[in-house]
Amino acid sequence: MRVQGLIAATFSTFNEDGSLNLSLVPRLVDNLVSQGIKGVFICGTNGEGPNLTTEERMATVDAYVKAVNKRCLVMVHVGHASIAEARRLAAHAQQAGADAISAVSAFYFKPGSARIMVDCMAEIAAAAPLLPFYYYHIPAITGVAVNPLEFLQLGESRIPNLAGIKYTAATLHEYQACLNYKDGKFDILFGYDELLLPALSVGAKGAIGSTYTFATPLYLRIMELFNNGDIVAARELQYQAVKMIQCLGWHSPIPAQKAIMKLLGTDLGPCRLPLQALDSTQVEEINSYLGEIGFVKVLENVTTA
């Protein structure tokens, strides 16, 4: 499996009382498909997968597979603190018609080495043997920083359906090493939106990111400019993305991004504790900043370019 283009790591869709609101999924999918997205990554960090029950995660997968209807890829995050639950989620994703699965490390009792990580991921991947499996490397969240290249070296013989890594880390030298392992044997999807252009410069072809859910045209234009050799223009647009991303850290990044989506016309509902929706003052602070940097105008310009 090879992904060329952008995968949107989509956000949770909740009612005000915190229950799932899957009726919002079709509109979100339609918008992303119309903008040229290559796929959706669901129930991951941005989808608050760890905040959902196993049954809610399965219901979310069913809703996305139905809404997508083969128009783009459906990649399902099945990681869980319990390997048994992760296996249930993996098996369900295969049965539901997903295109690929991915899993983070267990994040309470943590694997202590790349070998143990491979043991864990082999168990999960084996529950969905027909689907490509991507190890989800996100050490800033899981606290597990095994060497991703060592994971590939050990995992290629242990995980028959190993397709690659969802690489959400800023260590571009290790990312490049993974990309070039055995002449590019594995699909290494980059996961830091603010570093998309540097990742392209070392060989990235596909990427998964949260802000692709509401700024797909901006990043597609960056990729187009890079591929056409217009590095100066690509660099200028990447900085526009960086300026937008800078405000996400003022509060909690996921609620901040859901607030931006609402400002842009797509209300996906609140978050679940321990995440909490921004208050009106915080939302206005972000709205004013986006106005100052001309973010909406940038989006309009790249959309019509």
Residues recognised as catalytic: 136, 166
> Do residues 155 and 135 touch, judged by C-beta distance below 8 A?
yes
What's the rounded Cα separation, in Å, for the pair 115 and 282? Answer: 44
Q: Per residue in 54-89, pLDDT tens?
A: 999 999 999 999 999 999 999 999 999 999 999 999
Residue 304 has pLDDT above 80, yes or no: no
**pLDDT tens readout for residues 106-147:** 988 999 899 999 999 999 999 999 999 999 999 988 988 899
Structural contact between residues 152 and 165, judged by C-beta atoms closer than 8 angstroms: yes
Residue 210 DSSP label: S
Identify the three-state secondary structure at position 229.
Answer: coil
Binding-site members are: 208
CB crowding 16-40: b at 16 or more within 10 Å, else e: eeeebbbebbeebbebbbebebbbb
Interacting residues of 108 by C-beta distance below 8 A, sequence separation 6+ = 81
Looking at residue 145, its pLDDT comes to 87
CA distances 176 to 4, 69, 113, Å, are 16, 34, 21
Which ranges in the chain belong to alpha helices (H)? 25-34, 54-68, 83-96, 114-126, 139-142, 148-155, 172-180, 196-201, 212-227, 231-246, 253-263, 280-293, 295-304
Residue 233 has pLDDT above 90, yes or no: yes
Q: Indicate the domain borders of the chain.
A: 5-228
Domain 5-228: CATH architecture, name and number where available: Alpha-Beta Barrel (3.20)
Is pLDDT above 90 for 217? yes
Q: Tell me the per-residue pLDDT of 176-201, one tens digit each, with 9 for 90 and over.
A: 999 999 999 999 999 999 999 999 99
List residues forming the annotated binding site for pyruvate: 208
Task: Please compute the mean of the pLDDT values over residues 163-181 and round it to a whole number.
Answer: 97
In terms of pTM, does the model score above 0.75? yes
